Amino acid sequence: MTTLIEQRDAVNKWLERYGVRFGVYKGGVFHEQLFPFDPIPRVIKRSEWNHIEKGLIQRVKALNLFLSDIYSGKQIVADGVIPEEFIYSSKGYLPQCENITPSKGIYTHICGIDLVQARDGSWIILEDNLRIPSGASYPIIARTITRKVSPHTFEHNHIEENRGYIDLLRKTMDYANVNGGLAVILTPGRYNSAFFEHSFLAEKTGATLVFPGDLTVENEKVYYNGLFNTRQKVGVIYRRVSDEFLDPMAFDKSSLLGIPNVMQAYAKGNVALMNAPGNGIADDKGLCYFVPKMIEYYLHETPLLQNAPTYLPYYPDDRKYVLENIRKLVIKDVSEAGGYGVMFGRDMDEEHLANIKHLIETEPRRWIAQEVIDFIDLEVLEGSGTVLRKADLRAFVLCADEIRVWHSGLTRFAREPDSFVVNSSQGGGFKDTWVEKN
């Protein structure tokens, strides 16, 4: 590992050479910047990983069953496990998806589940990202480069290969494909923060990268339009455009990023969309509390991985607890994403605190509160030494003929000491994640 650290400059040169970037908006202006890479990997022991893997598969299995239930009979609501208000007042619930059965019954093709490791060593779920999670490309590139500049490191550490993600992704696309038609990756365009990843995954999987306007729906089928009125039927769309912009006929009518009437082709089973539209209901922050209950309800199993202890001000007992203990809790606005709308009670001044308390009382459904997890710090290189930073792990779970967990993941760390916010949009960096071989 020492050699790997010594090769830091070489690694950065390669990152620059490949244009490994992500986009950010600062003051409304688009910039592309390098995603700071830290060469010290996060290493996860095999025994630990086996537990995480089992827990993630269990979780994703339950989430997929939940989505299938919610967009049809809603048995879990009828049985009183989840109050209907949490479904119908969530922005993530899309009635337009009612009674549509996606190809092979899969909703959650690619899940990016964020976990942290607490000081006692246990792994805790922070959130499930079941819509269009990004970040898988970075550890793949990091691994390619670090193996190049420091081959000896990998001779002495027996870790799982991670470039297999590409095959896993392609398999997932092919499995969902409804008719053997073209496999495409739909990007909103180059000014999307994850555009690099979209183009990288297209290159590596051999899928066609398509932009809004390249696809049209005719006779309930989706076509990719080539030069001079040539066209090709599309069988699967790995879309990186979010639900609300996906089809101006069904969702936001002003969307210029969508494919008009693609929902009709999808409902008819003429194209697969991955991930399925409407998944936002399952990764709604307000629903996170119910995931362990889903596991018990659908699988009759005990959850292997726990959420951070979560309180729903919606329930009077929880509300009372939250209002009394707000100083030690983290408060999240369920309608926000990407690290926004997250507030730590201990950091708020009196006025802000009073304001939030008032909002919790008047709009209880909008908030969740969680105990602050004291998660472990990881060593990060800074100057000639190392510093400690908070880090999380985004594990990727892919659903094809079976549910598989990618034997790596995106470890993101906070830029500032004491910060718990690891999102790349807020200046954090990333590490490769090494999973010990069996």
**304 to 53, 307, 402: CA distances (angstroms):** 10, 10, 19
Where along the sequence are the contacts to another protein (CB under 8 A)? 16-19, 77, 84-85, 87-89, 95-99, 182-184, 190, 195, 199-200, 202-203, 206-211, 213-214, 216-220, 224-232, 248-250, 253, 260-261, 264, 267
CB of 262 to another protein, least distance (A): 10
338 conformational bin, left if phi > 0, alpha if psi -120 to 50, beta if neither: left
35 burial via Cβ count (<10 Å: 0-12, 13-18, 19+): buried
What residue has token string 């809004």? 212
Among residues 77 and 118, whose Cβ is nearest to another protein? 77
Beta bridge partners of 114: 127, 394
CB of 340 to another protein, least distance (A): 20
Complete DSSP assignment for 233-284: EEEEEEE-S-HHHH-TTTS-TT-SSS-TTHHHHHHTTSSEEESPTTGGGTS-
How far apart (Å, rounded) are the C-alpha atoms in residues 111 and 133? 7
CB of 53 to another protein, least distance (A): 30
Among residues 256 and 387, whose Cβ is nearest to another protein? 256
CB of 291 to another protein, least distance (A): 21
How far apart (Å, rounded) are the C-alpha atoms in residues 31 and 49? 36
**82 to 61, 70, 362, 398: CA distances (angstroms):** 18, 11, 21, 26
CB of 76 to another protein, least distance (A): 13
Complete DSSP assignment for 17-29: HTT-EEEEEETTE
Among residues 13 and 45, whose Cβ is nearest to another protein? 13
Among residues 89 and 419, whose Cβ is nearest to another protein? 89
Among residues 157 and 261, whose Cβ is nearest to another protein? 261
Among residues 339 and 364, whose Cβ is nearest to another protein? 364
CB of 212 to another protein, least distance (A): 10
